[in-house]
Amino acid sequence: MITSLKLKNFRNFENKELFFDDKKNFIVWENWKWKTNILESISLISLNSLVKIGFENLVKKGENIFYIEAILSDNTKIAISYDLEKNKKTYFINRKKTTKLKLAKYTIKSVVFSPLIMNMLYLSPSLRRDFLDDVLSSSFENYEKHLKNYKLILTNRNKLLKNIKEAKSDKSEIKFWDSKFIEACKIIYNYRFGLIDYIKENISESKEYFLWKSEKVEFVYKSKVSKENLETDIKSYLEKNLDRDIILWTTAIWPHIDDFDILIDSIPITEFASRWEVKSIILYLKLIEVKFIEKCSQKQPILLIDDLLSELDENHKNMLLKKLNWYQTIISVIKAKNTGEHNSVFLN
């Protein structure tokens, strides 16, 4: 849990200090961008990112360094700074420099709810793949390192494919990178299939939140490999498609061309359901994410809800707020409405 937050030269803030309740907190401001900036700073402290833009774009105009510091419920101080001139990130625990990996052991976990996420079933498959990777990065300290290693191996294999096509390298050299690629894929898929199995086990419970009657809700993962024959499938596909990969300079099988869909009675939800109904299932998917991160990390995440309540009708809004009763939640809203006795942070 986060009790307070200090911002220095972060986005539009020169100096700002905020205090938070242990349950629901409403950030109230007419300017939606400024509210989002606060949620983004908290997500960065949790080694997540709400807006997913480069640190160089987060420094206040005219300044060179931003600093974010949060105090947690156990009085631990965690902080991140970024030097624009040096293009350098620095991490702190109790104001002593540390590594990103060590910070991950102490910092909070966060789950982001945003209008963009609520539309991920309609948008690019890359957004859905990012969803899976973000959940795994928040749940396991080493996943991001494995993902970076995988992407590096993929890049090197693709470079070799190009060199083979241009007769700068021999075709036999691909065996080395195929071996590296298969091992890296196995690591990523083993993490990913664990998450997929968890979603599949829990997604059926979402039926109680739908406004229509349905027999079955399914989470379907779309991939060219199977969990049961992972290594064999990857190796076979690489060998069979090598000539095509050389022509295109591209590895045609990898975790990041996979996708997923949600089916209601065996029909993709986006083909027949209203946008409200689709939002219902995505809301529940995000709640499954909360439970998965808590289960794997043994930390209760805080929930960052960015300008989302205005997107929901009363039924969806009440369902979401009811489910969040056990978590510290920070919600950005334009007007203070129905906040009850919860903490409201009015910004000016």
125-176 pLDDT, tens digit each: 999 999 999 999 999 989 999 999 999 999 999 999 999 999 999 999 999 9
Percent of the chain with pLDDT over 90: 63
- pLDDT value of position 208: 65
The string of pLDDT tens digits covering residues 83-124 is: 999 999 999 999 999 999 899 988 999 999 888 888 899 989
Question: What is the band of 338 on the pLDDT scale with cuts at 50, 70, 90?
Answer: very low
- pLDDT value of position 33: 61
CB neighbours (10 Å) of residue 54?
Answer: 8
- pLDDT value of position 348: 41
Sheet holding 267-268, edge to edge: 217-222, 259-264, 267-268
Q: Specify the amino acid at residue 285.
A: L
Q: Please give the Cα distance from 63 to 9 (Å, whole number).
A: 7
What are the strands, taking DSSP E only, across 190-255?
A: 217-222
Q: Evaluate whether 2 touches 72 at the Cβ level (below 8 Å).
A: yes
DSSP run (H or E) holding 120: none
Average per-residue pLDDT in the chain? Answer: 88
Q: Please give the Cα distance from 323 to 317 (Å, whole number).
A: 10
Lowest mean pLDDT segment, chosen from 199-213, 277-291, 321-335: 199-213
Please state the pTM of the whole predicted model: 0.87
What are the strands, taking DSSP E only, across the chain?
A: 2-10, 13-19, 24-28, 65-72, 77-83, 88-93, 96-98, 110-113, 217-222, 259-264, 267-268, 302-306, 329-333, 343-346
Domain residue ranges of the chain, discontinuous segments joined by +: 1-109+299-348, 125-297
Q: Evaluate whether 344 touches 330 at the Cβ level (below 8 Å).
A: no
Handedness of CA 141, 146, 152, 158 (dihedral sign): negative
The string of pLDDT tens digits covering residues 42-82 is: 999 999 888 788 999 999 999 999 999 999 999 999 999 99
Q: Which residues contact 99 (CB under 8 A, 6 or more apart)?
A: 91
Q: Please give the Cα distance from 272 to 275 (Å, whole number).
A: 9
Question: Which CATH number is 1-109+299-348 given?
Answer: 3.40.50.300
Q: What is the mean pLDDT of residues 323-340?
A: 72
- pLDDT value of position 188: 96
Q: Evaluate whether 147 touches 137 at the Cβ level (below 8 Å).
A: yes
CATH architecture group of domain 125-297: Up-down Bundle (1.20)
φ/ψ region of 326 (left if φ > 0, alpha if ψ in -120 to 50, else beta) reads alpha
